[in-house]
């Protein structure tokens, strides 16, 4: 079996930014309207008023300060409160594919590769804008890549699961090099009218080139030491949007269950030990002591969650820089978060340094990729 390396990464970041203050102003305006419309029921004790949000609450709950989005006007309009993205004809490039092209070109450039060097495309993301044809095949066509492509969805773990699939195919000789892209339009499946989660998500796309390690001399490449995936079924993070909704009376209406929802406290208590255990066991099975890990690039969902996982894995509070967070700028970008952190915070590592890329989320699912810098 061939050794596989990550030889290039790329990040597409939307230009538009929504700050916590902007988000709170919109949410509170909507809450006031709701409370005014339901004033009699609230006074009679038949319903609870919608509480205000605040920037302080958001930062304390998540560590998030800003988020990048594809559309800002709709999100910040109390009459709409969701992104407004113009419909595209079937002859136009899809939104996810357009995002992926930008990130893919950056990753290819860093790897020193062209589309002719790539044999496959995996589009791994938490939500896809259509069921078929596959977004990955659209990206493949747009880039002019020969070979094959497919979509996969393991929610927030999609990127690391995609890397694991690419690694195995390359190691076994099914492909020379594979492009893994993670276009995440999280703003479109977030309920911006839910105080408990209205601040969580942002939009972004990441891409990574994986190829045989002996075929590349790209600067900054990372050899993949080992990959591991784990899933445990849970309903605590869920989105029920799908084609079966039209088969059930009333399900074509605007329904809360068709958007992102979670039992946040349960997720925190259950996912932290699951992920920490996964990483610790993964390291142990590769005879790597935790104190040899120079960097943890964790899923960017919640700062407190990452801090606790890092402490459990390392056996101490991580030093500044050992576990970089990009939450404050990007918010939660689902599968792309750990790849943004990896892309932005690896240049300072020296050849031989070890690190772990780990993402986790709905499923529950978690993927761990141990890497070693080689050049």
Active-site residue numbers?
Answer: 156
Q: Dihedrals φ, ψ of 124, to 5°? A: -110, 110
Question: What is d(CA 302, CA 121) in angstroms, rounded to the nearest whole number?
Answer: 29
* Beta strands at 4-12 and 222-231: parallel, antiparallel or unpaired: antiparallel
Question: What is d(CA 322, CA 251) in angstroms, rounded to the nearest whole number?
Answer: 46
Contact (CB, 8 A) for 147 and 119: yes
Question: What is d(CA 220, CA 349) in angstroms, rounded to the nearest whole number?
Answer: 9
- Report helix, strand or coil for 124: strand
Q: What are 362's two structure tokens?
A: 């709905």
Q: Which helix (H) or strand (E) holds 150?
A: strand 148-152
Question: What is d(CA 266, CA 350) in angstroms, rounded to the nearest whole number?
Answer: 39
Q: What angle do CA 161, 296, 171 make, to 5 degrees?
A: 40
Contact (CB, 8 A) for 293 and 354: yes
Q: What are 79's two structure tokens?
A: 């009459």
Of 206, 256, 268, 267, residue with least CA distance to 68: 206
């Amino acid at each position: 079996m061939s050794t596989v390396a990550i030889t290039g990464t790329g990040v597409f970041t939307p230009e538009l930014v929504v700050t916590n203050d902007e988000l709170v102003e919109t949410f509170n305006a909507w809450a006031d309207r709701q409370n005014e419309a339901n004033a009699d029921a609230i006074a009679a004790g038949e319903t609870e008023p919608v509480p205000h949000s605040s920037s302080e609450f958001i930062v304390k709950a998540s560590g998030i300060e800003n988020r990048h989005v594809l559309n800002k006007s709709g999100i910040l309009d109390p009459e709409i409160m969701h992104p407004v993205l113009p419909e595209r004809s079937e002859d136009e490039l899809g939104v996810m594919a357009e995002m992926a092209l930008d990130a893919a070109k950056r990753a290819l450039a860093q790897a020193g590769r062209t589309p002719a060097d790539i044999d496959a495309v995996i589009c791994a993301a938490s939500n896809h804008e259509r069921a078929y044809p596959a977004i990955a095949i659209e990206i493949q066509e747009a880039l002019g890549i020969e070979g094959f492509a497919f979509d996969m969805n393991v929610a927030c773990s999609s990127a690391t699961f995609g890397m694991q699939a690419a690694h195995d195919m390359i190691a076994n000789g099914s492909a020379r090099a594979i492009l893994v892209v993670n276009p995440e339009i999280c703003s479109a499946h977030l309920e911006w009218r839910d105080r408990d989660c209205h601040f969580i998500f942002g939009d972004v796309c990441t891409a990574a080139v994986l190829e045989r390690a002996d075929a590349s001399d790209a600067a900054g490449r990372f050899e993949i030491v080992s990959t591991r995936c784990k899933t445990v079924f849970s309903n605590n993070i869920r989105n029920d949007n799908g084609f079966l909704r039209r088969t059930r009376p009333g399900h074509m209406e605007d329904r809360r269950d068709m958007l992102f929802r979670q039992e946040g406290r349960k997720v925190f208590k259950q996912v932290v030990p699951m992920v920490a255990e996964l990483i610790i066991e993964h390291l142990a099975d590769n005879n790597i002591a935790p104190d040899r890990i120079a960097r943890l690039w964790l899923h960017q969902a919640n700062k407190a969650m990452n801090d606790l996982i890092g402490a459990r894995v390392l056996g101490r509070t991580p030093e500044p820089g050992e576990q970089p967070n990009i939450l404050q700028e990007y918010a939660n970008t689902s599968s792309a978060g750990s790849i943004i952190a990896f892309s932005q915070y690896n240049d300072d590592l020296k050849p031989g340094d070890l690190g772990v890329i780990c993402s986790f989320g709905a499923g529950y699912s978690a993927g761990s990729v141990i890497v070693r810098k080689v050049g």
